[in-house]
Amino acid sequence: MNSVKCKRLKVKVCGMRDAENISQICQAKPDYMGFIFFSGSSRYIGEDPDPSVFDNVSVGILKVGVFVNETPKNIISIQKKYHLDIIQLHGKESMEECKELREKNIKVIKVFSVGEDFDFNILKKYETFVDYFLFDTKEKFYGGNGKKFNWSVLNNYKGPVPFFLSGGIGLSDADEINKFNHTFCFAVDVNSGFEIEPGYKDSKKVAAFIQSVQK
């Protein structure tokens, strides 16, 4: 693995939807908070969520809208309505769709599911039109499966786009993450590994994790 580590690993807590729990998690000061706009997820925020839910996010924490195979037109509309800072594309979105969002000055995280035989060359056509990649575990369903993938596969990723590390990460993984040195690892994405139930996180565990990986 590359020997250079980011100065400060950022943390994204995804799958939020409960106003009170959002306030609790904000006290742990994650860098990003994710909201899932995909009806197939058990953490779906709902068809027409109350804008006040997003108002509970503290200043300085960036709001991420997570979408799966949604049209750019609908994404742009939702992004404006809820003042989302970044859009995460978790499906089979094309390079052209990423480009369309970027042309609207919207920041984009493009997710790729990584298995042992993942071909990192497919990322090249996306590099110009995304701000970050997110590498998740390759599974049948989209996200939140609670399983890790073999991080050593990322030895084959040479950049230049920084990435979020995701996939079944829990509090017990903090030490391993601190040992994970990769030049382009920008942030870690957590979700199911910190849940009391889908969409509701254990704020004490989140706080302990953030303190451990950002010490």
Q: Is residue 6 predicted with pLDDT exceeding 60?
A: no
pLDDT band of residue 169 (cuts 50, 70, 90) is very high
| Overall residue count recorded for the chain in this entry | 215
pLDDT tens-place string over residues 176-214: 999 998 999 999 999 999 999 999 999 999 999 999 998
Average pLDDT along the chain: 92
CA distance 147 to 42: 16
Q: CA nearest 201: which of 164, 170, 160?
A: 170
Distances from the Cα of 88 to the Cαs of 74, 91, 147, 173, 175, in angstroms? 14, 9, 20, 24, 27
Domains of the chain are 10-213 (3.20.20.70)
| Amino acid 145: pLDDT | 61
**How distant is the alpha carbon of residue 128 from its chain centre?**
19
HSE (side-chain half, CA atoms, 13 Å) at 205: 17
| Amino acid 5: pLDDT | 45
pLDDT band of residue 8 (cuts 50, 70, 90) is confident
pLDDT tens-place string over residues 102-128: 999 999 999 999 988 999 999 999 999
pLDDT band of residue 55 (cuts 50, 70, 90) is very high
CA distance 206 to 189: 11
